[in-house]
Structure 1
């Protein structure tokens, strides 16, 4: 990402927007995490993984695509998927298109957990985030945050960047997926 040598200070509006975003994110995440624990003993990340898989066309994604979607490290993702697999909420299998890739799929039990969690999750979102906003405000927020998200996604998150493996001789091999 290109950064100017001296970007200068943030304006009061820029600083206020940044701090409001940080505080809103923290307050919302805290309440969502509590709701997820109470409803299903899921962590925030585990919910993100299940919801992302549940939203996929066939309920399956490659691990690298899943990591990119939730912006999570590969090692952390492997650990969290392992916990979900032990609980019977997802399965893992080698990809049929690329033997180096692993595909994660949500199970029927995983879909049942999502169905249990979503009503409370939606209630929290409505109460904390959406209730004080008009429908025009919600549309504007979606537009603004979508623009920022798309800008930030133009530079892939670290979890989505190809890894380079070192060969025994020290030469590098092509990126692994």
Structure 2
């Protein structure tokens, strides 16, 4: 199909294979995020957003990550990241401190409780992903699936603007 193809009707447009595959991708992602997020919250008390905060901060390792880095990683505005970090601080999962290089920059690190909960929740989340996603795909397709998701994720991240 040519990129400049004009559709003759809404039905034709809605049944375009490119539009269908993207809609299915979004539907799968949204449905799985709901199911996995609900299971995680039921089993650990953590919302999916707070769990992702723990993962982003945990991935940063020693020295932590700036609030701006969290915003970019989670595709949030700086205000959204600040509110998320504030919730994490209130719950004792992360701590905030001024950067030694630039006191205007806030560095976020896991607390011992945040570290413990990140590990516990990740164990549960990995099990749930195995059951709801990986176990239903043909075993010989898993490598290609993982690589395709990685390529899509990296490309999307490279196209995103710097979050305000």
What band does the TM-score fall into relative to the shorter chain?
0.7 to 0.9
What residue number does 1:132 align with? 136
Q: Tell me if the contact between 1:31 and 1:124 (Cα under 8 Å) persists in the aligned partners.
A: no
| Correspondence list, 1:10-89, <5 A | 12-58=16-62, 60-89=64-93
Q: Give the Cα–Cα distance (whole angstroms) in 1 for the partners of residues 135 and 153 of structure 2.
A: 23
Q: Indicate how the Cα distance of structure 1 residues 21 and 62 shifts in structure 2: closer, same or farther if over 3 A, else same.
A: same
Q: Give the Cα–Cα distance (whole angstroms) in 2 for the partners of residues 128 and 7 of structure 1.
A: 37
Matched, 1:122 2:117: no
Q: Deviations over 1:136-165 (max 9, x none)?
A: 3221122222222222222234xx34x5xx
- More helix by proportion, 1 or 2? 2
Q: Tell me if the contact between 1:59 and 1:106 (Cα under 8 Å) persists in the aligned partners.
A: no
Residue ranges of structure 1 left out of the alignment (5+ in a row): 164-177
TM superposition outliers: structure 1 runs of 4+ over 4 Å? 6-11
CA RMSD of aligned residues (A): 2.1
Aligned length: 156
Q: 1:100 aligns with which of 99, 104, 115?
A: 104
